[in-house]
Amino acid sequence: MAAVSLRLGDLVWGKLGRYPPWPGKIVNPPKDLKKPRGKKCFFVKFFGTEDQIGFLGLGLMGSGIVSNLLKMGHTVTVWNRTAEKCDLFIQEGARLGRTPAEVVSTCDITFACVSDPKAAKDLVLGPSGVLQGIRPGKCYVDMSTVDADTVTELAQVIVSRGGRFLEAPVSGNQQLSNDGMLVILAAGDRGLYEDCSSCFQAMGKTSFFLGEVGNAAKMMLIVNMVQGSFMATIAEGLTLAQVTGQSQQTLLDILNQGQLASIFLDQKCQNILQGNFKPDFYLKYIQKDLRLAIALGDAVNHPTPMAAAANEVYKRAKALDQSDNDMSAVYRAYIH
Ligand SMILES: NC(=O)c1ccc[n+]([C@@H]2O[C@H](COP(=O)([O-])OP(=O)(O)OC[C@H]3O[C@@H](n4cnc5c(N)ncnc54)[C@H](OP(=O)(O)O)[C@@H]3O)[C@@H](O)[C@H]2O)c1
């Protein structure tokens, strides 16, 4: 028999008798499990669900998420404002919803991942929007990165119609979304968080439950504020190296050997050195997140001077037409 090597986090399928195949993940065994001595054994957590899943917003993030939901055996109904983006997923086995309201009314749990606070509100409150499909027991999970006020308003309207609400923004990028390795920050209805377990297993490597609605939005903005400021600092260092006659490649080699070494630092520098600014995380969205994080600090009189400085550089990059490039194109704001 061929040897199979498994690692924690690997996804597997199990088949028991005449039951349909069910997805699972290799996890640490429970502490009290009595394992056969001397035998290497794996512990599989089966996580499938029979809930009907809806998904609204097939952008960079939503596309990877929906592919992984389908791969892990979920029944998914999709809708996107630009309808053609649904075609690929219909070929992969998804069902098509004609409006957000129709998706919500035909599904048990509907997820959404759209660009910004305005889009998140339009989707729920607009004509044939999510709210039109909410009835008691319907579940809505907003995965967009927005501010706490927006998500609180959405939670209130959904709950006022008898729906259940969870916010679940994600940390990651397009590649991590495709790989099902996002980090999910959730807050709101704890029961719904647990009901989403199968979906979160398919799309993410881990998830955090952070309490009441608004907490995940705040935490997400803080995470992205750190990431966005770091990216601007990397660009500043690389350009300063260049104008002072230092090798940018050597700067990267030195950073990679030090304590700042990370996949993020290495990938973003490599992309800059190759002049590759294909979006993995749109520059316009990291600038939106910095702007919202600064407003968060503003609301509690907490200084955010580093984020404010980084935000100015991203604004300059946007003025240079870099919005739809990767956030690493902030580099171009330093070239004069
Ligand atoms: N990309 C990343 O690395 C990353 C990482 C973490 C978090 N995020 C967050 O995840 C969210 C989505 O990001 P993304 O990269 O997937 O964005 P994206 O590729 O630009 O996709 C945006 C999606 O929002 C839809 N949309 C925009 N305005 C809308 C409106 N008024 N009504 C309905 N739908 C609307 C778009 O529809 P159309 O196709 O019709 O334009 C598209 O499906 C953002 O909040 C972003 O900050 C992104």
Residues 89-105: tens digit of each pLDDT:
999 999 999 999 999 99
The pLDDT assigned to 252 comes to 98
- Report CA(21)–ligand 1 centroid distance (Å): 33
Among residues 211, 229, 261, the one where a domain terminates is 211
Measured in Å, residue 181 CA sits from the centre of ligand 1 at 18
pLDDT band at 1 (very low <50, low <70, confident <90, very high): low
pLDDT on residue 19: 80
Domain region containing 299? 218-335
Mark whether 59 and 179 lie in a shared domain. yes
Same-domain pairing of 84 and 130:
yes
Rounded distance from Cα 191 to ligand 1 centre (Å): 27
Same domain? 94 vs 181:
yes
Supply 269's token pair.
Answer: 């520098």
Q: What digits encode the pLDDT tens for the residues 296-311? A: 999 999 999 999 999 9
Band (pLDDT 50/70/90 cuts) for residue 139 is: very high
Say if residue 202 is in the same domain as residue 227.
no
- Ligand 1 midpoint to CA 16 (Å): 39
Closest CA to 237 of 258, 265, 213, 212: 265
Which CATH number belongs to the domain containing residue 229 in this structure?
A: 1.10.1040.10
- Report the distance separating Cα 3 and Cα 285, nearest Å: 45
Taking only the tens place, the pLDDT of each residue in 170-227 is 999 999 999 999 999 999 999 999 999 999 999 999 999 999 999 999 999 999 999 9
How sure is the predictor about 167, in pLDDT bands with cuts at 50, 70 and 90? very high
| Residues 162, 251 within the same domain | no
Residue 49 binned pLDDT confidence (cut-offs 50, 70, 90) = confident
pLDDT of 279 > 80? The answer is yes
Substitution candidate for ligand 1 out of 55, 56, 61 with most atoms within 8 A of CB: 61
CA of 327 to the centre of ligand 1 (A): 15
The candidate with the shortest Cα–Cα distance to 138, out of 168, 104, 112, is 104
Query: Do 158 and 165 form a contact (C-beta atoms < 8 A)?
Result: yes
Q: How far apart are CA 297 and CA 147, in angstroms?
A: 12
In a shared domain, residues 242 and 134: no
In whole angstroms, what is the distance from residue 245 CA to residue 256 CA? 20
173 with 300, same domain: the answer is no
pLDDT for the residue 12: 85
| Distance from residue 59's CA to the centre of ligand 1 (Å) | 5
Residue 84, domain CATH: 3.40.50.720
Residue with the nearest Cα to atom 18 of ligand 1?
Answer: 59
Pick the last residue of a domain from 179, 211, 243.
211
Mean pLDDT along residues 154-163: 98
How many distinct structural domains can be found in the chain? 3
Question: From residue 224, how far is each of 198, 219, 278, 296 by CA, in Å?
Answer: 26, 9, 19, 13
Instruction: Categorize the per-residue pLDDT at 336 as very low, low, confident or very high, splitting at 50, 70 and 90.
Output: confident
Per-residue three-class SS string for 4-34 = CCCCCCCEEEECCCCCCCEEEEEECCCCCCC
Chain position carrying tokens 């739809």: 324
Mean pLDDT of the chain: 94
| Mutation probe of ligand 1 site: the residue of 63, 89, 115 with most atoms within 8 A of C-beta | 115
Instruction: Find the residues whose C-beta lies inside 6 A of ligand 1.
Output: 57-62, 80-82, 85, 113-116, 119, 122-123, 144-145, 170, 172-174, 280-282, 285
Q: What is the pTM of this model?
A: 0.91
Strands 11-14, 22-27: pairing kind: antiparallel
Q: Do residues 194 and 252 share a domain? A: no
Interval 59-71: pLDDT, tens: 999 999 999 999 9
* Same domain, residue pair 246 and 291: yes
CA of residue 262 to ligand 1 center, whole Å: 26
47-61: burial string, b at 16+ Cβ within 10 Å, e else:
bbbebbbbbbbbbbb
Same domain for 241 and 103, yes or no, is no
Using a pLDDT cut of 70, give the percent of the chain over it: 98
pLDDT of 232 higher than 90: yes
- pLDDT higher than 90, residue 9: no
Euclidean distance between CA atoms 66 and 89, whole angstroms: 8
Residue percentage of the chain with pLDDT more than 90: 84
DSSP string of 80-138?
-SSGGGGHHHHHTTPEEPSSHHHHHHH-SEEEE--SSHHHHHHHHHSTT-HHHH--TT-
| Dihedral sign for Cα atoms in the order 329, 122, 226, 201 | negative
Ligand 1 atom closest to Cα of residue 61: 16
Coarse DSSP helix, strand, coil percentages of the chain, rounded to the nearest 5 percent? 50, 15, 35
**Reported confidence tier of residue 2, pLDDT bands at 50, 70, 90:** low
Q: Say whether both 194 and 273 belong to one domain.
A: no
Alpha-carbon span 305 to 297, nearest angstrom: 10
How far apart are the CA of 62 and the centre of ligand 1, in A? 8
Domain boundary among 142, 176, 211: 211
Nearest CA to ligand 1 atom 10: 144
171 plus 256 within the same structural domain: no
Q: Enter the DSSP assignment of 282.
A: B
Instruction: State the closest ligand 1 atom to the C-alpha of 171, by its place in the atom list counted from 1.
Output: 6
